[in-house]
Amino acid sequence: MKINIEVSKDEKEARLTVIKDKDDEEIPLVEDLKVALIKAGVTVGIDESQLSLICFDQKFNEEFVVAKCIEPKVGKDAGIQEVNAPKPSEKIQPVVLKDGKIDYFAPREGFVVFTRKDDTIIKKVPPSAGEPGKSVLGKEIPGIKGKDISIIQFSGINTEVKDDSIIASIDGIVKFVDNRYVVEKEFKITTNVGLETGSIKIPRDSDVELIVDGDIKSGYEVTCPNLKVGGCVEDAKIDVKNLKITRGIVGTSDSVIKANVITVGYINGPRKVHANYIRVVREISNGAVITADIAQANIIQGSTVLAKEGIIVDHINGSNNVYIGIDYDVKNEFDELSKELNIVESEINEMKDESYQIAKRMVKLKQLAKINPKSPMLIKEMKKIKEFKEKLDSRVGHYNEIKEQKNKLADKMYHFKKNFLVVKSGFSTDTSSKQIIDPDTNLHICIHFKKIADPKPGGLFKADEREIHFFSNYNINEYKNIIENKIKSLS
């Protein structure tokens, strides 16, 4: 009897044949075959069931595969890791807070994705080598590497491939279009900014434009460089450089709308709007509060407008507060100091009432001091009076400090250089007015309207025994140049 063992060239399997003549009565045992395999160097993947078959069924002079290698495993294929990329719409969800509540107003991860130039959008995850196997002779078989990919197939406009990553070649919004990542300067929302989108925040120092076909709904915020709104801005907070609203600004909240340049159809309601230049195509009405360097509108009606440089308006109706030549930033600080001053003054007045009662007690205490100058009650009362006086002196000192600050701000609050007021049609209101004449331009500037006798368009009238001239049918081209220069300076 002879045991013949052959190992394949790739060492992935071993074959065994028991060569035996008819006359040979020797029957091999399984252990005999195993010993033979080990002597031949076959130590891995021995199939004892095959050895048993050969021995017990006397399968002689036939070749059997009696050992197989441990096959190496295939590694993971190459893939991509999204570093700063948009999510599929079905994966964009409202923010869940730590307490489990849902914040529908917060910006949603993966909806509007802003990138800076040279920032990574995605990077390639290389294929892994796979786990090694073993040959039947016990040698290691290297793992099989997963399939590789070329990341350039995912690179779209305004992106480039660098070190197995796709990076942005400009600042902008990352989008996934036709299986490619692209960076664009524009992002469009075909519905509203609201429940479906959450708030939108894009750095103001970029030059991206956000276009919203619908409205900006109440409670939401938008921060971006350039914003176009097809509908209305409701009780929302806006902080942008350039704002164009086809319809209007409405609502009653204190949420501020802030932009360098604003063009809007109308403003209706007690909204706070701040701009360096604002143009209202129709009317500012119903308690709106507008602060601007230059304000331009068709109608101002029942509202407050503060303009640092000037106002151009067709008509002023109703009861308005219109200021020209007022630095609104300083005025805000001035108004806050006024509130604080009133509070401190009220506290001092209350303390003065108390000091009157103390003065009456002092008469009795002086009498007590003559009788018993070391009386514990006298000492205690005198200590209280001393503490009260120190407190009163402190509040009076604080009052004087605030008053001094307020007086200094009052000097800074007025901005009289090159101010102008152009009223193209006139007034239909009762007002009184304070006015300043700019010594450089000799323009008559109305600082505050409340009640004035109704003048004829373009006419002269008296307020505080001074003449005030409102321009009517004025050549607007001079002020167009001022506006154009203002907008250029803000671009």
pLDDT tens digits, 85-96:
999 989 999 999
- Domain closes at, from 385, 413, 441: 413
- Both 141 and 118 in one domain: the answer is yes
Q: Is residue 335 part of a domain?
A: yes
CA atoms of 280 and 267, how far apart (whole Å): 7
Contact, 21 vs 111, CB < 8 A?
no
The answer for residues whose C-beta is within 8 angstroms of residue 152's C-beta and 6 or more apart is 161
Q: Is residue 315 part of a domain?
A: no
CA atoms of 254 and 269, how far apart (whole Å): 11
Q: Is residue 474 part of a domain?
A: no
pLDDT at 334 over 60: yes
- Number of residues that this document lists for the chain: 491
The per-residue pLDDT for 470 is: 41
The per-residue pLDDT for 491 is: 64
Asked which of 173-182, 355-364, 424-433, 482-491 is least confident by mean pLDDT, the reply is 424-433
Q: Helix, strand or coil for residue 225?
A: strand
- pTM of the full predicted structure? 0.72
Parallel, antiparallel or unpaired: strands 209-212 and 221-229: parallel
- Both 85 and 180 in one domain: the answer is yes
Q: Is residue 114 part of a domain?
A: yes
The answer for residues whose C-beta is within 8 angstroms of residue 157's C-beta and 6 or more apart is 182, 183, 184
pLDDT band at 477 (very low <50, low <70, confident <90, very high): low
The answer for residues whose C-beta is within 8 angstroms of residue 305's C-beta and 6 or more apart is 284, 290, 292, 295, 297, 311, 320, 321, 322, 323
Q: Helix, strand or coil for residue 334?
A: helix
- Both 85 and 179 in one domain: the answer is yes
Number of domain units in the chain: 3
- pLDDT averaged over every residue in the chain: 84
Pick the residue with more confidence: 247 or 335? 247
- Domain closes at, from 379, 413, 447: 413
- Both 98 and 165 in one domain: the answer is yes
Q: Is residue 263 part of a domain?
A: no
Contact, 265 vs 246, CB < 8 A?
yes
Q: What is the pLDDT of residues 275-327, one digit of tens each?
A: 999 999 999 999 999 999 999 999 999 898 888 888 888 888 877 777 777 77
pLDDT at 434 over 50: no
What average pLDDT does the segment 6-15 reach?
Answer: 95
- Both 62 and 92 in one domain: the answer is no
The per-residue pLDDT for 393 is: 86
pLDDT band at 206 (very low <50, low <70, confident <90, very high): very high
> CB-based burial of residue 477 (10 Å sphere; 0-12 exposed, 13-18 middle, 19+ buried)?
exposed
Q: Which tokens is 90 given?
A: 């079905």
What average pLDDT does the segment 139-164 reach?
Answer: 95
CA atoms of 441 and 430, how far apart (whole Å): 28
CA atoms of 191 and 89, how far apart (whole Å): 14
Pick the residue with more confidence: 100 or 370? 100
Q: Is residue 250 part of a domain?
A: no
The per-residue pLDDT for 478 is: 59
Percent of the chain's residues with pLDDT above 90: 58
Closest CA to 148 of 162, 163, 129: 129
Closest CA to 231 of 223, 65, 218: 218
Contact, 166 vs 120, CB < 8 A?
yes
DSSP E strand boundaries for 398-454? 420-428, 433-437, 444-449
CA atoms of 483 and 475, how far apart (whole Å): 14
- Both 94 and 52 in one domain: the answer is no
> CB-based burial of residue 270 (10 Å sphere; 0-12 exposed, 13-18 middle, 19+ buried)?
middle
What average pLDDT does the segment 113-122 reach?
Answer: 98
CA atoms of 260 and 380, how far apart (whole Å): 62
Q: What is the pLDDT of residues 400-432, one digit of tens each?
A: 998 888 888 877 776 555 566 676 665 554 443
- Both 49 and 97 in one domain: the answer is no
- Both 45 and 83 in one domain: the answer is no
Domain that holds residue 167: 79-184
CA atoms of 200 and 209, how far apart (whole Å): 12
Contact, 262 vs 243, CB < 8 A?
yes
- Both 56 and 114 in one domain: the answer is no
Angle at 382 between CA 381 and CA 383, to 5 degrees: 90
**End-to-end Cα, the chain, rounded Å:** 99
- Both 107 and 167 in one domain: the answer is yes
Contact, 268 vs 249, CB < 8 A?
yes
- Both 62 and 152 in one domain: the answer is no
What average pLDDT does the segment 328-350 reach?
Answer: 85
Q: Is residue 336 part of a domain?
A: yes
Pick the residue with more confidence: 25 or 149? 149
Give the number of C-alpha atoms closer than 13 A to the C-alpha of residue 221, restricted to the C-beta side: 13
- Both 18 and 59 in one domain: the answer is yes
Q: Is the dihedral of CA 315, 318, 322, 328 positive or negative?
A: negative
Phi, psi of 143 (to 5 degrees): -65, 160
- Domain closes at, from 159, 184, 209: 184
Asked which of 248-252, 261-265, 429-433 is least confident by mean pLDDT, the reply is 429-433
Q: Is residue 324 part of a domain?
A: no
What average pLDDT does the segment 249-265 reach?
Answer: 95
pLDDT at 362 over 70: yes
CA atoms of 413 and 104, how far apart (whole Å): 41
Q: What is the pLDDT of residues 446-467, one digit of tens each?
A: 433 333 334 444 333 333 333 3
Q: Is the dihedral of CA 332, 335, 340, 343 positive or negative?
A: negative
CA atoms of 303 and 283, how far apart (whole Å): 10
